[in-house]
């Protein structure tokens, strides 16, 4: 995987060294993160709650925010794009067994992504299809454990009212692939449609008084799509 990151970084640097057209575009619209999640099992929870082994995982819900992506055209076919958005909010819940749907907590995250795009020349200036490959960095912050989980841990005699229960998520670095199209509407205005698949893996930890009592590896790997308006300078 490290070799893949180096390859993508080299591609981005090589493209950025090409002669620039000084052509900037900004895309603004609705951007949705739709996790295709899976996780390791909550083995500690299963043992304490007397649940069947390997019967529980965690799930992460969809969220839509304001997307803002910035494009810098380097050549006729090559563009660098930075994908940004207002912070995404996600609920983390247990999936499976008798505690299916139990709220674990919530988190916010920002997934800035730098992509090298190749734009195809179809001979029609109205349609600008493209594909992209790049690197995603996902920063998780403001993790909050749910009151439902706290009360459940107390009911199982794992914690008491004086204990401090927290949820922590590790940041992630992964690859991103992309496809989309810009459809010209006027001289400077276009419609912008984009679909990406991002590699986001994290480790979630439930901590009591600073000590981890349950850790779980979570593969989020969301589809990210955006519908917006594009303005070219």
Dist. CA 230–CA 70, nearest whole Å: 10
> Could you name the CATH architecture of 2-232?
Beta Barrel (2.40)
Q: Answer whether 28's CB lies under 8 Å from 67's CB.
A: yes
Q: Answer whether 103's CB lies under 8 Å from 145's CB.
A: no
Q: Which residue matches tokens 């303005």? A: 231
DSSP 103-119: EEEEEEEE--EEEEEEE
Tokens for 187, please give them.
């001289």
77-81, 85-89, 184-188, 190-194: lowest mean pLDDT where?
184-188
Report pTM: 0.86
Mean pLDDT in residue range 122-132: 91
Dist. CA 27–CA 226, nearest whole Å: 9
- Identify the three-state secondary structure at position 151: helix
Dist. CA 78–CA 72, nearest whole Å: 9
Q: In this model, does residue 151 exceed pLDDT 90?
A: yes
Residue ranges in the chain assigned as alpha helix (H): 2-16, 43-48, 147-155
Q: In this model, does residue 122 exceed pLDDT 50?
A: yes
Q: In this model, does residue 17 exceed pLDDT 80?
A: no
- Report pLDDT digits (tens) over 52-67: 999 999 999 999 999 9
Share of the chain above pLDDT 70, in %: 91
- Report pLDDT digits (tens) over 161-175: 999 999 999 999 999
- Identify the three-state secondary structure at position 28: strand
Q: Answer whether 192's CB lies under 8 Å from 184's CB.
A: no
Tokens for 233, please give them.
């300078």
Instruction: Output the pLDDT for position 10.
Output: 52
Tokens for 230, please give them.
């594009």
Annotated domain spans of the chain: 2-232
């Amino acid at each position: 995987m490290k070799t893949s990151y180096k390859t993508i970084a080299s591609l981005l640097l090589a493209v950025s060294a090409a002669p620039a057209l000084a052509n900037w575009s900004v895309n603004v619209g609705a951007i949705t993160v739709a996790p295709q999640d899976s996780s390791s099992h909550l083995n500690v929870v299963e043992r304490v709650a007397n649940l069947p082994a390997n019967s529980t995982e965690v799930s992460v819900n969809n969220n839509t925010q304001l997307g803002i992506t910035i494009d810098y055209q380097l050549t006729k076919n090559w563009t660098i794009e930075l994908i940004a958005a207002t912070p995404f909010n996600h609920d983390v819940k247990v999936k499976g067994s008798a505690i299916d749907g139990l709220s674990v907590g919530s988190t916010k995250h920002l997934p800035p992504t730098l992509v090298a795009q190749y734009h195809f020349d179809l001979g029609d200036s109205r349609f600008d299809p493209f594909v992209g490959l790049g690197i995603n960095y996902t920063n998780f912050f403001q993790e909050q454990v749910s009151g439902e989980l706290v009360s459940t841990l107390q009911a199982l005699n794992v914690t008491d009212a004086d204990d401090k229960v927290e949820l922590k998520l590790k940041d992630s670095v992964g690859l991103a692939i992309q496809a989309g199209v810009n459809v010209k509407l006027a001289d400077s205005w276009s419609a912008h449609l984009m679909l990406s698949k991002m590699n986001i893996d994290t480790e979630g930890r439930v901590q009591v008084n600073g000590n981890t009592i349950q850790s779980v590896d979570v593969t989020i790997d969301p589809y990210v799509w955006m519908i917006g308006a594009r303005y070219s300078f």
